[in-house]
Amino acid sequence: MSLASSSILLTGGTGSFGRAFVAMTLARFDPRRLVVYSRDEMKQWEMAKTYADDGRVRFFIGDVRDRERLSRALDGVDYVVHAAALKIVPTAEYNPFECVKTNVLGAMNVIDACIDRGVKRVVALSTDKASSPVNLYGATKLVSDKLFVAGNAYVGGHDTRFAVVRYGNVMGSRGSVIPLFMSLKGKGKLPITDPQMTRFMVPLEQGIELVWHALDDMEGGEVYVKKAPSIKVIDIARGIDPEAEPYIVGIRPGEKLHEQLISAEDSHHTFEYDDYYKVVPAIDALGNKARIKDGRRVPAGFVYASDSNSEWMSVEALRAWIACDGAKFAAG
């Protein structure tokens, strides 16, 4: 598989992931066409200015809820990366029907439209909140993950293949805690949900590289889980503004104290690689050697959670990242 000279469509393409994916993919692979499919005309208008002289980038207004529009946008597309979602946890708690329409029904539309249009491979983005979910956003993303995995059987005689990439909090993405704390730096106080709260931290570039790898490696039905360091939220605050006084605001509706990427139930068909884990379909978990390759089985009962993680990010490492990359992401 090669993305070079191919046609790629990215749903939700004007978000933090989408903007970085477009820039990195154009530079690395030189695709023939890269279609940004999203519903926000203003974000598209602003993003289009960057690529005004690049004929490879196209912009398509549309919503994943609209299957007909999605099908039109997929004309001639080889590969799809599905990043569109309603993802803010409290928003999903208070607007559950809207979250289901985008994250679940939208996923079904992507699957159906990709099969009908003869797309070769599809990678859907997931989240740590989809593993043992306790909030509606996580529950809808778990359903989405299951739909994309099952899509490989649902596809019938067609050649379209589906996989999922799951990772933790993208460092510096819009709506995440790093830009929030940076915006409050110097004001004397920073809001902390709970002093024990932990999160996985993934640099955006590494998340994109795992998507590229999934497109190249997948047989269909895999969930690729990015290995990432953990950090306490209170240490993020200390790294950004050591002089600020933390004040406890409590856990928001639907939030977990610690996040999880792989559950004990999934450990029976999970394999470890150097930079990631791969959860293979429970049906025929061990029978497809092409899917497993050189993976090592994890121990039974293995759980990949942010509080029991073996890798941790130091406050110094966080500050180094902010000095190099944090400002540009916060500005976005």
Alpha helices in the chain, H assignment, sequence order? 16-29, 41-50, 67-73, 89-94, 96-100, 106-116, 136-154, 177-184, 204-217, 233-240, 289-292, 315-321, 327-331
Structure tokens at 108: 């079904």
Instruction: Check if the beta carbon of residue 331 is closer than 8 Å to that of residue 219.
Output: no
In the chain, the amino acid numbered 46 is E
Q: Which among 162, 166, 237, 266 is positioned nearest to 207, based on CA atoms?
A: 166
Instruction: Check if the beta carbon of residue 61 is closer than 8 Å to that of residue 70.
Output: no
Q: How far is Cα 194 from Cα 292, in angstroms, rounded to an integer?
A: 39
What count of residues does the chain have?
Answer: 332
Instruction: Check if the beta carbon of residue 46 is closer than 8 Å to that of residue 87.
Output: no
Instruction: Check if the beta carbon of residue 121 is closer than 8 Å to that of residue 152.
Output: no
Beginning with the edge strand found earlier in the chain, give each strand of the sheet holding 7-11 in spatial order. 57-61, 33-38, 7-11, 79-82, 121-125, 161-166, 223-226, 276-279, 270-272, 296-297
Q: Which residues form the catalytic set?
A: 129
Q: Which among 165, 137, 134 is positioned nearest to 149, based on CA atoms?
A: 165
